[in-house]
Amino acid sequence: MAVTWRNWARQQSCTPARIERPANEEQLSEAIARAGRDGLRVRPVGSGHSFTDTCLTDGAIVDQSAMQRVLDVDTESGLVKVEAGIKLHRLTAELHRHGLALENQGDIDKQSLAGALATATHGTGERFRNLSANVVGCRLATATGEVVEIDEARDADAWRAARVSVGALGVISQYTLRCVPAFRIHRVDELRPVTEVLAELDELVAEHDHFEVLALPHTDKVLTYASRRTDRPAAPPGRLAAWWNDDVLSNVGLGAACHLGRLVPGAAPRVARAMSGVIGRYEQLGDSHRVYAHERRVRFTEMEYAIPRTYAAEALQRVRVLIADRRLPVLFPVELRFTAPDDAFLSTAHGRDTAYLAVHHVVRAEYEAFFRAVEAIMDEYDGRPHWGKRHFQTAATLAARYPAWQKFQAVRARLDPDGMFTNDYIARVLGPVGADTGPSGTEPALLGKQHEDTVLGDDARRET
Ligand SMILES: Cc1cc2nc3c(=O)[nH]c(=O)nc-3n(C[C@H](O)[C@H](O)[C@H](O)COP(=O)(O)OP(=O)(O)OC[C@H]3O[C@@H](n4cnc5c(N)ncnc54)[C@H](O)[C@@H]3O)c2cc1C
């Protein structure tokens, strides 16, 4: 019986020839070998939280939701070995039980670890890199079903490619992650004038461990999320405040406003101003994994671009002006986040201090003209689109934005010479296997504030 696979936003779907659900590495290898014998291509999927067609195939989908075990925890070194299908919420809860945590997280935890890493999923904080930078090693099932062990010492190029692979190298079955001692975060959310925040942006980002700006369209206000790590005891917000903030404002109210804006576009600016009038200060102090992650019940689609950090304020202003000038019925905030550079070949933060600018639109709204206009701005900043979020780029437009593009392609040609893990998305954004699609130049020096030895993954060399 044909089964339809759908992503979280329910805007991408396919009818694969089969969906495999291996429970261990051996079954995973067999599933890939079987697909090969039957002439099927393969796509690994996690939680389907990507907005693009990255998971779609008419071949075999490999769903690893039955591979979620924590295999080994070394609390001394912080090295943790897990099955790749583990969901982030399960992983962080397990880590917490062992006194450990992920160094940083994004704003939900429903993704699978493999899916989050494959697209360079990130949080915010200028001293922290995206999640994939903490991958010390992994095991990858290739097109024949053979499993190869990858880490920096064995094969440095494969390690830099596999950390952010967009699922184009094979199916990763296990990761070894470097984790940090568990910590708590004090986060303050407050509404402030946009001019004030953008004038002080560099200081605000530098003086907080995690700093994020949410510009409310059609208003002169931004909501800032400002977090510091702390040893103070947890102090959960009051139930009423939590209900108002997490249920009403972030979900029910936002959803109602967005749908009103979609149905009556002319009302969007007034709705936006009314929304900004009911947002108050909100504080949370708790374990990192609880403070980072939030419920997102309003379904939306999203585009996010990684641009050089130095253009953050200017780019945000241009997108605000775009929305205001065209009176676009957009009610989701424009989001601005920050990360340190890293050295994974396809990391959106490869080699540069990065600002991430994201725009969202509620599902069923017409998003394309808006996103294309934002993309045109991001192109001027040499922007790199999030691999799991909407964009209109191709291998031809992306290659020059990644200094190590050819190195990734060389690893891809080595690990998947026949393109078994290529689908329409991969063909579009990475090109065919073995094609000469990019510059072969040397990588520039990393432009970040981090110590070079950390960025270059010396940690991995200490793994035993
Ligand atoms: C509500 C919401 C909030 C989000 N918040 C953030 C955020 O704060 N920060 C951010 O950066 N992103 C964010 N995202 C984007 C999201 O983190 C990425 O799209 C992520 O890839 C989704 O993980 P997933 O498990 O759903 O992967 P999927 O979407 O299922 O797959 C993503 C990619 O991973 C590949 N893949 C999956 N498993 C494997 C495997 N075992 N081996 C190799 N490749 C594999 C797939 O083939 C695909 O290319 C958000 C998305 C949503 C819907």
Domains of the chain: 184-385 (3.40.462.10)
Residue 127 has pLDDT above 90, yes or no: yes
Nearest CA to ligand 1 atom 1: 296
Lowest mean pLDDT across 121-130, 261-270, 298-307, 332-341 = 261-270
- 51 CA distance to ligand 1 centroid (A)? 9
pLDDT in tens, 220-229: 999 999 999 9
The pLDDT score that the predictor gives to residue 463 is 26
Determine the average pLDDT of the residues in 19-30: 98
Q: Does the pLDDT value for residue 460 go beyond 60?
A: no
Looking at residue 260, its pLDDT comes to: 81
* Residue 302 backbone zone (phi > 0: left; psi -120 to 50: alpha; other: beta): beta
Distance 149 CA to ligand 1 centre (A): 23
- What percent of the chain clears pLDDT 70, i.e. is strictly above it? 94
Comparing 147-161, 264-278, 411-425, which segment has the lowest mean pLDDT?
Answer: 264-278
Cα distance between residue 43 and residue 32, in whole Å:
10
Q: What are phi and psi of 402, to 5 degrees?
A: -120, 105
248 Cα: distance to centroid of ligand 1 (angstroms): 26
Average pLDDT in the 271-300 region? 91
State the closest ligand 1 atom to the C-alpha of 166, by its place in the atom list counted from 1: 49
Q: Distance between CA 251 and CA 352 in Å, rounded?
A: 34
Cβ atoms of 94 and 171 within 8 Å: the answer is no
Average pLDDT, the chain: 92
Q: What integer is the mean pLDDT of 5-15?
A: 97
- Residue whose Cα lies nearest atom 10 of ligand 1: it is 121
Q: What percent of the chain has pLDDT over 90?
A: 81
Task: Please report the pLDDT score of residue 54 as a whole number.
Answer: 98
More confident residue, 236 or 172: 172
Q: How far apart are CA 124 and CA 28, in angstroms?
A: 34
How remote is the CA of residue 115 from the centroid of ligand 1, in Å?
A: 4
- pLDDT for 111 beyond 60: yes
pLDDT at 436: 65
What residue owns the CA closest to ligand 1's atom 19?
Answer: 50
Question: Any idea which of 5-19, 361-375, 382-396, 426-440 has the lowest mean pLDDT?
Answer: 426-440
**Residue 455: per-residue pLDDT:** 29
Of 453 and 377, which is predicted with more confidence?
377
Ligand 1 binding residues, C-beta < 6 A:
8, 43-50, 54-55, 64, 84, 106-108, 111-112, 114-116, 118-119, 121-122, 165-167, 171-172, 296, 386, 388
Order of strands, sheet of 42-45, starting from the edge strand that comes earlier in the sequence: 18-20, 60-63, 42-45
- Please check the confidence at residue 268 and state whether its pLDDT lies above 80: yes
Over residues 418-444, the mean pLDDT reads 80
**Residue 163 C-alpha from the chain's centroid:** 13
Q: State which H helix or E strand residue 194 sits in.
A: helix 194-199
Atom of ligand 1 nearest to the CA of 51: 19
pLDDT attached to residue 308: 98
Q: Which atom of ligand 1 is nearest to the CA of 356?
A: 11
Mean pLDDT within 90-111: 98
Can you tell me the distance from the alpha carbon of 307 to that of 393, in angstroms, rounded to the nearest whole number?
Answer: 15
167 CA distance to ligand 1 middle (Å)? 10
